[in-house]
């Protein structure tokens, strides 16, 4: 049987042709990758979600009984709806040394380079293996990576390094903030607005709690804790969605809002959320319940990503710097799946082709020069794993 051999650009064209917008299935792409790996005798494991419409893929190239290097990427992409694209977002278009399509930079570029190097990886034996770890639903809050990282973290031999290939322009990122998302539903008691004092206004109580959350955010911004490696150098608290009320002459009985905490690694985000919840329970709910005992606040955690922070003197950081040809590291404020792998005790860094500035936008692109840089990275990695256990 002739085996599929694709350049990184051809592989990228293939990967972006699958519309893996997070709300849709990613199985077509995953099965294609599985078949491709099969051609080279590499068996893969799929870890499905509850709906069986989405799956993570894990595969090992090389000796599974040695600690290896995980190449981690998410297969889903953000929607194109409502964005003005100059060409079909699911067809790779080349112009002026740039490659345009949804997912080129975030982050099928990295996956394409990794997969296009498979023939090279299997040509001569590796002393330490390479793990492919491709997830689903990263863009919905890193949903798939949890089961994938757990699966890898529980293997008899734990990998020695995980490289998350999110777009960093091939810079080595050694830490990012965490995210903790909280959904709040305020249950009130409705009435005609002329009788407002006898009702429980859910919108107003929600607003009081949002104002309190804002005061917490201000306090943290002024007093810290601070970590100057991040911009902004402190934990942020923010309310991004708020919904409530139907008419001005009705006291609303329901209001919902969503709050997010983005924490620096030294801060526990749940402590901040607990402070906000306690304010609701102690200062607001008693007044609501005096009028209607059934009224009150309801909280639900919706998504979260652990922060991560790897010490700059960790030998794995040196390794990634030498592979990428860079000489300094950075921390970023956007979250990735790195926190989830690091949480499994696997030393993790973020390093991938393309710029985060192009992610999630219409006419998303990756510069061909970035793919070449990433190819060089992979070539050096394969060399390294061939010679060193």
Which residues contribute to the site for Zn ion (CB under 5 A)? 106-107, 166
Specify the residue, 107 or 200, whose C-beta has the smaller distance to Zn ion: 107
**3-state DSSP helix/strand/coil percent for the chain, to nearest 5?**
35, 25, 40
The 10 Å Cβ neighbour count of residue 313 is 7
Specify the residue, 62 or 352, whose C-beta has the smaller distance to Zn ion: 352
Give the separation between CA 121 and CA 33, rounded to whole angstroms: 16
Q: 157 burial class (0-12, 13-18, 19+ CB within 10 angstroms)?
A: middle
Residue nearest to Zn ion (CB): 106
Specify the residue, 171 or 189, whose C-beta has the smaller distance to Zn ion: 171
Specify the residue, 129 or 353, whose C-beta has the smaller distance to Zn ion: 353
Give the nearest distance from C-beta 103 to Zn ion in angstroms.
9
Give the separation between CA 338 and CA 231, rounded to whole angstroms: 18
Give the nearest distance from C-beta 234 to Zn ion in angstroms.
24
Q: Is 100 helix (H, G, I), strand (E, B) or coil?
A: strand
Residue 343's H or E segment, with its range, is helix 338-343
Q: How far is CA 211 from the centre of its chain?
A: 29
DSSP state of 187: E
Determine the Cα angle at 56 with ends 77 and 363, to 5°: 15
Give the nearest distance from C-beta 379 to Zn ion in angstroms.
24
Q: Which of 33, 323, 346 is nearest to 161 (CA)?
A: 346
User: In DSSP terms, which residues pair with 185 in a beta bridge?
Assistant: 256, 298
Helices 368-387 and 8-16: crossing angle in degrees, nearest 10, is 110
Specify the residue, 199 or 305, whose C-beta has the smaller distance to Zn ion: 305
Q: In what order do the strands lie in the sheet with 178-187?
A: 236-244, 254-263, 178-187, 296-305
Residue 132's H or E segment, with its range, is strand 130-135
CA distances (Å), 26 to each of 46, 50, 53, 144, 165, in order? 12, 14, 7, 11, 18
Specify the residue, 135 or 344, whose C-beta has the smaller distance to Zn ion: 135
Give the nearest distance from C-beta 22 to Zn ion in angstroms.
11
Give the nearest distance from C-beta 19 to Zn ion in angstroms.
16
Give the nearest distance from C-beta 74 to Zn ion in angstroms.
6
Specify the residue, 107 or 121, whose C-beta has the smaller distance to Zn ion: 107
Specify the residue, 166 or 364, whose C-beta has the smaller distance to Zn ion: 166
Specify the residue, 106 or 364, whose C-beta has the smaller distance to Zn ion: 106
Q: Which of 88, 95, 87, 103 is nearest to 12 (CA)?
A: 103
Give the separation between CA 26 and CA 10, rounded to whole angstroms: 19
Give the nearest distance from C-beta 158 to Zn ion in angstroms.
24
Give the nearest distance from C-beta 383 to Zn ion in angstroms.
27
Specify the residue, 360 or 386, whose C-beta has the smaller distance to Zn ion: 360
Give the nearest distance from C-beta 359 to Zn ion in angstroms.
6
Rg (CA), the chain: 24
Give the nearest distance from C-beta 200 to Zn ion in angstroms.
42
């Amino acid at each position: 049987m002739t085996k599929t051999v694709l350049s990184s650009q051809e592989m990228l064209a293939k990967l972006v042709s699958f519309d893996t917008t997070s709300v849709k299935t990613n199985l077509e792409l995953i099965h294609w990758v599985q078949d491709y790996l099969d051609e080279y005798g590499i068996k893969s494991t799929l870890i499905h979600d509850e709906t069986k419409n989405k799956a993570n893929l894990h595969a090992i190239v090389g000796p599974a009984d040695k600690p290896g290097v995980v190449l981690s990427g998410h297969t889903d992409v953000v929607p194109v709806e409502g964005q003005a694209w100059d060409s079909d977002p699911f067809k790779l278009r080349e112009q002026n040394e740039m490659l345009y399509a949804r997912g080129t930079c975030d982050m099928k570029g990295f996956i394409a380079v990794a997969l296009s190097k498979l023939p090279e990886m299997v040509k001569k034996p590796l002393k330490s293996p390479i793990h492919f770890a491709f997830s689903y639903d990263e863009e919905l809050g890193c949903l798939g990576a949890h089961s994938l990282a757990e699966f890898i973290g529980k293997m008899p031999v734990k990998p020695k390094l995980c490289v998350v290939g999110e777009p960093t322009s091939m810079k080595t990122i050694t830490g990012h903030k965490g995210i903790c998302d909280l959904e709040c539903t305020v249950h009130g008691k409705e009435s005609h607005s002329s009788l407002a004092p006898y009702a429980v206004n859910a919108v107003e109580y929600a607003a009081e709690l949002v104002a309190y959350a804002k005061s917490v955010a201000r306090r943290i911004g002024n007093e810290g804790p601070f970590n100057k490696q991040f911009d902004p150098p402190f934990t942020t608290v923010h309310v991004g969605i708020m919904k409530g009320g139907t008419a001005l002459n009705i006291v609303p009985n329901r209001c919902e809002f969503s709050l997010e905490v983005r924490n620096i690694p030294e801060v526990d985000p749940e402590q901040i959320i607990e402070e906000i919840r306690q304010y609701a329970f102690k200062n607001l709910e008693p007044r609501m319940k005096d009028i209607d005992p059934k009224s009150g606040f309801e909280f639900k955690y919706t998504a979260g990503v652990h922060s991560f922070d790897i010490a700059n003197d960790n030998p794995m950081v040196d390794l990634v710097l030498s592979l990428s040809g860079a000489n300094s590291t950075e921390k970023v404020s956007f979250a990735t799946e790195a926190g989830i792998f690091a949480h499994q005790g696997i030393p993790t860094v973020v390093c991938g082709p393309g710029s985060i500035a192009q992610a999630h936008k219409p006419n998303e692109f990756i510069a061909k020069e970035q793919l070449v840089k990433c190819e060089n990275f992979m070539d050096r990695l394969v060399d390294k794993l061939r010679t060193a256990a």
